[in-house]
Structure 1
C-alpha cells in the first residue's frame, strides 16, 4: 500500500480563535500580539490585505491600527491551546493515525482511504467537520509524502479556487505545482540554504526535484537529499504516532516592567518553576536537574549588563513543585546581584527519568516527601478545573512584573467566569 499523507493546517489560527467568540468581528481586520504586547504575530486575511506585516513592533503601528479600526488582541494561550485540542480531537476521530506537528497543524495518514472515498472528498469532509464543530477554518493538502503535502496545503491556502483542499497524488499535478513554487517555500529549506541554492541555479521546487539525490547529498547534505526524494513522491519521513518525550522543559518570560528588587524576582522565579513542574507532570516525567537564568536588556548597552546562568543537581529525580521551587530559590540567592534592571528570567528542567526508575546510590539522600504524588495530583486537578487556582505564597499576589497583556480576551473555554452572558 502506497503511503498517503494529509496536512491539515488552521488558517490564521490565533485570529480565528479570537473571532470565533466575537461574531461582531466577522469580516473585520484582526491582529494578535506577542508577549508583553511587543509585536504582531498573527493577522487575519483582512489585516494581511491592508499590508500589515508580521513582526512589526506594536508601538510603531498602534496609531495606524486605531485609525483603521483594526481589532487588537494580546496573546491568549489558554484559549488557543484549548481550541487546538478540540481541532486535534476531531482529526483523531477522522484518521487512524495522526501526528500533531504544531498548535495549528497535524499530519494524517490517509493510506487506504481512497478505497472508501476520493481523497479530495475526504479532505472536504475534514474541512467541513472542523468548521462546523469548532468554527475554525482549515486547509487540507494531500500527497504521497509529507513534504509534498506541505506544498499541497500551501496551494490550498493560496488559491481560493481549490476550495481549501488540494489532492497532489497525481505526478502531473505535482510537477505543475512544483514549477510555481519558489525553492525557499519548500519545507526544510531555510533562508541561508535557499540563497546558496539560488546561486547554483536552483530557483524553484521543480528545479530541486530534478536534481540527482546523490549529487545533492555530496554538495549539500543528506537532509536535503531526503527532501529531493520527498519532492519526487518518495516517502522518507514517516508519521510519528507518539509524541517524542521532551528532553527539557523551559518556562521563561520577559517582564512587563524591569525587575530591580530580589523579592519581585523571587516571585517570578517561583511562578515559572511552578509552571515548569506542571508541564513535567503532564509529560509523566521526573527531573534530576534544574537551571536558572536571568537577563538584563542586551539591546541597551547604556545599561549595566548581567546574565547569570546556574544549575543544580537534585538529590533524586522529582516532579514535586515544592522541591523544585526550593532548588530554584537557592540558585536565585546564589546568582542575584543588586544594581541591575532585569528584563527576563527562566527555569529549565532537564535529565528526565520515568517515575520509580532512578536507582539512588548507597549513600545518597533518597528521602521523598510523604503523599507528594497525591498532593500534586489534587493540585493539578483543581488548577485545571477552571473553577479556581491554588498557588504557593511565594508566587506573590500583585505581580507587577507580570508581562503586559492590555488587550487580552477572556478565556472563554477554560474559565467559568469568562463564559459569555446572554441577557
Structure 2
C-alpha cells in the first residue's frame, strides 16, 4: 500500500461489461477504416493491408491509432509485420518502447537483433510448458526459435511450434480469417472476493458461473455434451493447505439448459470437494459443443428440466432488464463469495445510471 501511495498508482476493480463495450467500439472503428479485419480477442485484431513502403505503413498506423483515440477515447498499439507472429512482435515493441509513439513497422531485413532481445516465452503461441521445453533445448530467444531445426521442433513442439518458427522467418502460415473459428469450449470462473470453505458457498458460486456459461452457449445457438468442473485453493498462500482438482462429466443428452447444466455441475463438485481447505476459485467449462438442433430424445432419459421455452423466456427477461433479474435459486442471493468490486470504474457506456454528467 505504501508503494502504491508513493507512486500515486490508480487501482480499479474489474468491469467486464465496460471492457466488452469498449472492445466492440474499437473493432467497429477498425472495420470502418480497413476492409479486412480479424477480431482475434477482446483486445486484439489483425488487419490485412496491401504491400506498401514502411513510411506509408507508419502513416497508416498513426492514422488508425489517432482515429481510435478520437472516436473511442482509449490508446491502442499498432505493429506491422509480414506474418501474424512478426506483427505481434512489432506490436510488443510499439507498446513497450515509448519512443515509437505506439506504432512500429518491423523492418523487412535486419530485424534479427530485435528477435534476439525477445525471450522465447514472450513469442505469440509459445506457452509456459513449450517455453520450458525450448529452454532445455537451448532455444532461449525468438531468434533462436526462428533458426531452430525443423525436425527437432516437429518432434518436441509438433507442427504448432514449427509453424511459429516458420512465421518468424517471414513465411505466413496463419492466414486472416473472416469469421472466428467455431468455439470448442466455454469457460466461466472468477476468483472469490474472500476464501470459501463450505460446500454450500461453492455450490452457489459454481451455479452462478454455470448460468453465465449457459447464457453464452444459448447466444451461440449451441449445446454442450460435457461439463468440466474445477476448484483450487490460493497457490500464492504457500503456508496454507493446498488442493486443486477437476472432473469431467459426459451428458447423456447435449443441453443448453441452465438448470440441467447446474444439476450436473453441482453433482460433480460434490465429488471434488474436500473439507479443511480455503478455496480461492471454482469454475466450469462446457465442452463437446454442437448445434442446438443436434439434441435428440433419449429412450432411457427423462425430458430435461428447464426446456427451450423456459430458457428463451429467461434470456429475454435478463436481456431486457439486466443479467440476474431472473436466476436459479441455486445461485443464491447474498453471495458473500462474490468479488466486491468496491473500486470499480463507472460504467459510462453500459449503464444509464452511471452516465457522465455534463454541467
TM-score for both structures, normalised by structure 1 = 0.71
1:151 pairs with 65, 89, 102, which one?
89
Indicate which of 330, 339, 343 corresponds to 1:407. Answer: 343
The reply on whether 1:268 has 2:208 as its aligned counterpart is: no
Q: CA RMSD in A?
A: 3.5
More off after superposition, 141-150 vs 227-236:
227-236
Distance 1:302 1:182 in 2: 32
Instruction: Tell me the matched-pair count.
Output: 354
3-state DSSP class of the match of 1:253?
strand
| Structure 1, unpaired ranges of 5+ | 1-61
TM-score (norm 2): 0.81
Match of 2:29 among 87, 90, 95: 90
- Counterparts of 1:309 and 1:179, CA distance in 2: 39
Determine the structure 1 residue equivalent to 2:135: 195
* 1:234 aligns to 2:149 (yes or no): no
Separation (CA, whole Å) in 2 of partners of 1:231 and 1:139:
20
Corresponding residue for residue 193 of structure 2: 256
Structure 2 residue runs of 5 or longer lacking an equivalent are none
Structure 1 contact 315–366 (Cα < 8 Å) conserved: no
Q: Which residue of 1 aligns with 2:256?
A: 319
Cα deviation, residue 224, structure 1: 4.0
**1:320–1:376 contact (8 Å) kept in structure 2:** no
- Deviating above 6 A after TM superposition, structure 1's stretches of 4 or more consecutive aligned residues are 298-306
User: Is contact 1:139-1:165 (8 Å) kept?
Assistant: yes
Tell me how far apart the structure 1 counterparts of residues 116 and 105 of structure 2 sit (CA, whole Å): 16
CA contact (8 A) 2:65 2:77 kept: yes
Residue pairs, 1:209-248, within 5 angstroms: 209-210=146-147, 213=150, 217=154, 222-248=159-185
Against the structure 1 CA distance between its residues 233 and 72, is the aligned structure 2 distance closer, same or farther, given a 3 Å change threshold?
same
Please state whether the residue corresponding to 2:175 is helix, strand or coil. coil
Partners in 2 of 1:320 and 1:96 — Cα distance?
38
Looking at structure 2, the residues matched to 155 and 298 of structure 1 have their Cα atoms a distance apart, in angstroms, of 32
SS at match of 1:258: strand
Alignment equivalent of 1:397, drawn from 333, 340, 346: 333
1:89 & 1:409 partners in 2: Cα distance?
23
* 1:76 Cα offset (Å): 1.9
